[in-house]
Structure 1
Amino acid sequence: MKAINFLRLIICILIGSVHHFLWAQDSSHQLSFIAKNLEWKGVAVEDENYTLWGAAPIMGEDGKVHLYVARWPEKNVDPAWRKSSEIAHYVADHPEGPFEFSDVVLKGTGRDTWDRYAPHNPEIRKIGKKYVLLYIGNTDYHQPPHPANQSIGMAIAASPYGPWKKVGKDGLILNTEDASKWNYKSGNGIVNPSLLVFNNKYYLYFKSMGPSGLKYGLAIAEDIEGPYVIQDKPVTANNGTLEDGVVFYYNDSVYLLTTDNHGHNTGVVGGGTLWKSQDGITFDIKDASIGYLKIPDYYKGYDPDKVVKIYGSAPKLERPKILMMDGKPAYLYGPSGWNVYGDERTVCYVFKINL
């Protein structure tokens, strides 16, 4: 038995070495300050009754860490995410958890509204004394009209525990109905919101589809509740597709961390891309770096015989989100379609960023 365990350890080390060799050979980009300093901390949140897909973190005035998580009862990822997703609130005393369930924040209305189904893509920000929650929803989870019918909404609360009030009439703040914009009637709708206060304005980043494919765009508002005006062109000059972005400000630069599922931007298939900008409007591929590698590059106990493949083609992160502490990116959260501990549900993993 000891010999078998030793052999497994050698295999895991070799797999990690091969991963590093392959990205070093294929990538024209350097490891970012995030990718070089990630420390695997394991599971942040799991729930035996729910599939989890995304965890947006925020520090509360109570000194606790609050995660806003997309979840649904079905074990499958697709189509359940677009049909049954809700946003739930989990709380912990420490960024590494353990996180305990607190309450459900948002469900689909079930009525004839823009968010009839599946609140998803949670993003949380604390602005002044208010907690601002961004999310997406859709009118019909069947394909078609999904995914073209996805839009972005906002809800605000004075406490991370709520109560949450949707802004305006029904929470809707951004869609693809403006014929003058580059993503008019986007075949993918408008999704993956991330918010930044920059230049005394509110910068809302999003993923959408235009004539040149899926890009990240930007809508700017003078007031937190809008109106948000979509800028004339996308902000990312990406190769191929990207998604799942989170924006943050650090060291006098705006950073946008996205997935790179096909490796078209960094050469790391299933890794992440860290985009850098000075004005928050132009993110050039020449200024990008490898945001993160795949899970086996960080988790030393990775065992390919133990992992359960629930969704996706590789043990990679989805929906990356950053917890800022003292003005620095401190922790990275993300789910995966692969459960490395051998369970049948997806979980949200957490990494410490040792800057």
Structure 2
Amino acid sequence: MFIPYSLLQFPGTSFSTGQPRSVKKIGKIDSTNIFISKNYYTWGASVVEGEDGKYHMFYSRWPHGKRLEKDDSLNYIFDGFAGWNKYSEIAYAVSDNITGPYRHVKTILKGTGDPSRWDRFTFHNPYIRKFEGYYYLYFISNSFDSSLTGDKPLSPSRLQWFKYNCTQKIGVLKAKTIEELIDRSPTSATGAFIMEPDNKQTFEVTNNPCVTEGPDGKYYMMYKSRKPVFGHMTFWMAIAAKPEGPFKTVSSVLTSPETASEDPSIWYDKKRKRFYAVAKYFSNTLKLAPQFGSIILITSKNGIDWQPAKHTLATLKEIKFQNGSKVDLANLERPFVVADRKGQPIALFAAAAIQNPFKGNPLRVDNEHNTFNVHIPLK
């Protein structure tokens, strides 16, 4: 088990309009704010307060270890952490407090391998919100495209990886209660997807969905795509009259190689009358932040035209302890901001790893190469 964490800082900004502010310190972290699974990679938490006053977490997980050839002759590309691309499932946990401790309950979405379904394999990127009295769980899934070839020289294993990866689409489940949402077979049908690449603006994938309600009563989705072929990551905005869509893509957000990012989390601040989003910075040019993989902050007045906040860096990949020590992280990803009814952030969730989990031994995962979700209260 990890030792208690205690203090984390967001240098330079505090989820504001980007104007200079003193460094904002956020709540102390202890072991109750760490969610980790013994035999699973644990990733990407998303949380909502239920009608019962409890906090309900949906997260991604997939087993440690090597994949067996008897299950699939292509499984050699999914050993260890790489297994997310085929074997991730969406699980559910619950807590009396927003930052934990959380108790795992069950898996609610899992691939069947059915070749007739768009959601054939992985279930990943859960994003839970409550709109108009209903819960909406956005997610991604994939299938397999045997015809994919691309025009870049790739190793056979890398090409096989993309045959799965390039079929990612976005879906959503709607339920009146949390009980209704989770009281279902993990392999039951999830309905049609709500977003796929149009091959005009967006290409190869649609994933990392995040949705918020705007001041106009419309629903704004920020999602990730890629430039062809197997190119850098891009963000796009889509708008719908209803939380379940149909969504129409209306604008680009971060589409240059210098601003490549992933894992957005969006909300609308009613006090400041602005949209905000945090995301993982994914460019080595370091144009927006001093560290690859750090968390950045972007903002918009209308939800369509976005720009980096004046102080774009939200946090580096590090955790600071109450005793003054610090742990540098290999990964700090999938940020998810919980905001109150006025759009004021009250908690930050993120997936983390101390050592690069891709480089761990797939037959044995120790704490350093394991992964966990950290839940940080915001003052």
**Shared fold (TM-score, shorter chain, > 0.5):** yes
Counterpart of 1:265 in structure 2 is: 288
Q: Which amino acid aligns with 2:338?
A: L
Alpha-carbon distance in structure 2 between the residues aligned to 1:346 and 1:277: 32
Assess if the C-alpha contact under 8 Å between 2:223 and 2:235 holds in 1.
yes
Change (3 A) 1:115 1:33: same
2:16 maps to 1:31: no
Q: Offset at 1:288?
A: 5.5
Q: CA deviation at 1:210?
A: 3.3
- The answer on 1:123 being equivalent to 2:148 is no
The equivalent of 1:204 in structure 2 is 221
TM-score, length of structure 1 as denominator length: 0.79
Residue aligning to 1:193: 209
State whether residues 297 and 309 of structure 2, in contact with CA within 8 Å, keep that contact through their aligned partners in structure 1: no
User: What is residue 245 of structure 2 aligned with on the other side?
Assistant: 226
- Once structures 1 and 2 are overlaid, which stretch shifts more, 61-70 or 259-268? 259-268
Pair 1:299–1:343, CA change in 2 (3 A) = farther
Deviation at 1:31, TM superposition (A): 3.1
Give the equivalent residue in structure 2 for 1:101: 104
Counterparts of 1:138-157 in structure 2, within 5 Å, are 138-140=142-144, 142-157=160-175
The 3 A distance-change label for structure 1 pair 51 and 300 is farther
TM-score (normalised: structure 2): 0.74
User: Structure 1, unaligned stretches of length 5 or more?
Assistant: 1-15, 25-29, 308-313
Is residue 2:50 matched to residue 1:60?
Answer: yes
SS in 1 for 2:34: strand
Match of 2:152 in 1: none
Inter-partner Cα distance in structure 1 for 2:28 and 2:224: 28
2:3 corresponds in structure 1 to: none
Matches within 5 A, 1:279-290: 279-285=302-308, 287=310, 289-290=312-313
1:149-172 deviations in whole A, cap 9, x for unaligned?
111011111112334689998231
Distance (Å, rounded) in 1 between the aligned partners of 2:15 and 2:105: 33
Report the AA paired with residue 13 of structure 2: L
Of 309, 321, 336, which residue of structure 2 is paired with 1:321?
336
Q: Assess, with a 3 A threshold, how the Cα gap between structure 1 residues 253 and 266 changes in structure 2: closer, same or farther.
A: same
Preserved CA contact (<8 Å) 2:299 2:309: no
The alpha carbon displacement at 1:352 in A equals 1.4
CA distance in 2, matches of 1:167, 1:73: 21
- Look up the match of 2:378: 353
C-alpha distance in 1, partners of 2:225/2:332?
20
The match for 1:48 is: 38
Distance 1:283 1:167 in 2: 38
Instruction: Mark the CA change 1:255 to 1:298 in structure 2 (over 3 Å): closer, same or farther.
Output: farther
Query: Could you tell me how far apart the structure 1 residues matched to 2:317 and 2:264 are?
Result: 17
Q: How many residues align?
A: 315
Q: Indicate if the aligned counterparts of 2:207 and 2:223 stay in contact, CA closer than 8 A.
A: yes
Structure 1 residues 278 and 111, CA, compared in 2 at 3 Å: closer, same or farther? same
The sequence identity of aligned pairs, in percent, is 27
